Amino acid sequence: MHYIYYKQIHHILEKTLSVGIMKSNQSLYLFIVSIWSFLYAEQGFFKDNWVPKAAPVYSFHKAHPLSTAEPGFAIRIDFSDTICKVLPTVFGHNINPWVKGTIHQNEKALMHLKRLSVSDLRLPGGNWTSVWMWDGTLPQNVRDGYDELLKGLPNQSWTMTTDNMIALADSLNARPQPCVNYALARFLMGDDRVQRAASYAAAWVRDLNIKKQKGAKYWEVGNEHYGSWQAGYDVSGLGVISGTEYGKDFRIFADSMRAADPSIKIGAVMLSDEKDHDNWSAHVLPEVQNHADFLVIHEYFTWASDINTITVQQMLDSIVVIKKSMDNLKRMVEKYTNKNREHFPVALTEYNVRAGRKNSSMVSNLFINMVLGEVITHGYGLVNIWDIANGYDETEGDHGLLSRNNPDVPDNTPHPSFFAYYYFDSFFGDVMLRTYNEQSSLYVYASRFSTGEAGVVIVNPTVEEKTVAIELDDSDPGDSVYWFTVNADDPESNNIEINGNRGPEYGFGPENYYDIAPYSSALTSPLIFTVKPWSSNYLLLESKGEVRAKNVRDKAAKCGLKFRQMGRFVEVKAPEMPDQVGIYGLNGQRFSAELVWAKSGSAGKVLLPKTSGLYILRVKTGESVYYKHLLTY
């Protein structure tokens, strides 16, 4: 099986196709299988950020023998079967102002953060979004008490300022990803309160993008306004906010902000569960359907009154939420708007896990690797972990990638979660590949770099050592494989090791992680690899060149049949009119299909069903049958 790329009109995005040929009873069967699937559509305009990616080159490495144990099962990587492009925007981060105003000048923090590829830096982020004045001024004509709620300037001088956060983004070569203060619309007085708040947001757009030329592309209107913890949730004289109110106000904000810079994309605050918080999303969607560019959700996966009672297994099991949330959002879009279910790209602009002290242990590293793999698999366009640095609490733990205010650990020490980002991004290419995994307890994510190498991440979130045979289909393997293994003896331990190197007594991995050499060995197929318990493994497989790919269009031409999709129409070209044409859903359901054939030509058109979805087109000509997966809108 092999792949091609093509573009279609009417906002149909790029699709990756693979083709295989089989013969049966002297009949030729051509299967043109779309492995792009729905999830690629969900990336939407975020896919414009995609860039070819070169694999890392290691000038030094440490020879290490591969396993000689008998493999218990196989993992097959199909180099020709592409799931989706890997977007840099999956590796976004959050910065919050309460980390003090100096982190953008802290040499130790910057040394670590610059080793991550931070695509977009969300700011100010979190609940402070609703009490943050981007220009550090006090608003005029507001309800009593709001001035006292405000964080940062002019009330507090110890926090980061907006300019500090932008400076940090500049230092990391990241785009600012601003959240505007929607709560201001509920605290201002007067009939024009929403328009005034929207004008204030638009002024930030002009300041950041027009005056300062920072190119902030993705903007959010507010934060978690469905929750009682958010400033502006319940305001005297207005009552509790509803999804309908937020949705109507969102339109005013969006119009004002786009007037300042028409190139920006604006996200609306959503929940992935339809019934949560008085059906918030069900009320927001009808109001924003023609004004929102993308939908924003946050996810912290687990919940308990005492978060330290969350078990390791509960953390790991909650990974299914990523697929479930995407499925729920698509269903709600279809139910509550007049758009197709894939119309809105989805941004997960805050995520982590509520697990108390486990947040800075090895299980956090395992879980975040799984999150990165799953959000790519299921088509999220923009993802921001919470957060770069947060602050230690004896009960709550620390969500930060870097330590802060832990009396036993120096500030800006990388947590295990940091290494998930450091290695995953380094070892994952620009295209995700299909994998076939016989062992459901392992999480395996494979990719290909534009330079031809394969990058594979294997997460073993179990207490058992496992030996696998990695089979490489349709690849042109090189001579060597390189890898790093991050592991701990216990999932709740923060004393991790990287390729056998341990950190200081207080734990959290070796301080010189960037100087540790990868293991290396001769590359064989199958590749026999032993996966340690509680480990994340990052493999780079050399290639002698790009993956061998046959010219699919030439093959189709030799068979005398060509397809071209134009919206709901599929043009079929053949030497003569086909005998049969059929359209089938993935569940086998057959739909009516009529082929309108040009009387004087060698082409015809088939109209696809109105309902959006993936369909199989079956065309029979003589003794041959041709199949093609199609995406419709």
Q: Is the pLDDT of residue 456 over 80?
A: yes
Task: Give the mean model confidence (pLDDT) for residues 125-135.
Answer: 96
Of 169, 182, 122, 131, nearest in space to 152 by CA: 131
pLDDT tens figures, 397-452: 999 999 999 999 999 999 999 999 999 999 999 999 999 987 789 999 999 998 88
The highest-level CATH class for domain 119-292 is alpha beta
Block residue for tokens 């440490």: 62
pLDDT tens figures, 475-517: 667 889 999 999 999 999 999 999 999 999 888 999 999 999 9
More confident residue, 4 or 355: 355
Task: Give the mean model confidence (pLDDT) for residues 181-195.
Answer: 98
pLDDT tens figures, 317-342: 999 999 999 999 999 999 999 999 99
Of 513, 562, 336, nearest in space to 415 by CA: 513
Q: Is the pLDDT of residue 584 over 90?
A: no
Per-residue pLDDT, 570: 76
pLDDT tens figures, 174-185: 999 999 999 999
Percent of the chain with pLDDT over 70: 85
**Answer CATH for 2-34+560-632 from 3.40.50, 2.60.40, 1.10.40, 2.60.310:** 2.60.40
Spatial strand order in the sheet of 613-621: 2-6, 15-24, 27-34, 624-632, 613-621, 580-585, 590-591
Question: Are 628 and 622 in contact, with CB atoms under 8 Å apart?
Answer: no
pLDDT tens figures, 198-247: 999 999 999 999 999 999 999 999 999 999 999 999 999 999 999 999 99
Which one-letter amino acid corresponds to residue 392?
Y
Rounded CA-CA distance 204/256 in Å is: 11
Residue spans per domain, the chain? 2-34+560-632, 54-84+302-344+355-551, 119-292
Per-residue pLDDT, 625: 61
Per-residue pLDDT, 230: 97
Cα→Cα distances 220→178, 263, 329, 335, 456, Å = 7, 14, 18, 23, 33
**Out of 33-42, 272-281, 314-323, 612-621, which region has the weakest mean confidence (pLDDT)?**
33-42
Indicate if 54-84+302-344+355-551 has the same CATH topology as 2-34+560-632.
yes
Task: Give the mean model confidence (pLDDT) for residues 291-300.
Answer: 98
pTM value?
0.81
* Residue 416 tokens, joined: 């295990």
pLDDT tens figures, 557-583: 455 667 676 666 777 777 777 777 878
Percent of the chain with pLDDT over 90: 70
The highest-level CATH class for domain 54-84+302-344+355-551 is mainly beta
**Out of 46-50, 55-59, 138-142, which region has the weakest mean confidence (pLDDT)?**
55-59
Rounded CA-CA distance 244/286 in Å is: 8
Please give the angle made by the CA atoms of 143, 146 and 147, to the nearest 5 degrees: 115
pLDDT tens figures, 255-272: 999 999 999 999 999 999
Please give the angle made by the CA atoms of 445, 177 and 456, to the nearest 5 degrees: 10
Per-residue pLDDT, 575: 76
Cα→Cα distances 406→103, 362, 387, 504, Å = 16, 17, 16, 15
Count, residues in the chain: 633
pLDDT tens figures, 513-549: 999 999 999 998 789 999 999 999 999 999 865 333 3
- Which residues are registered as beta bridge partners of 175? 120
Average pLDDT, the chain: 86
**Model confidence band, residue 632 (pLDDT cutoffs 50, 70, 90):** low
* Residue 521 tokens, joined: 């060995």
Task: Give the mean model confidence (pLDDT) for residues 455-468.
Answer: 96
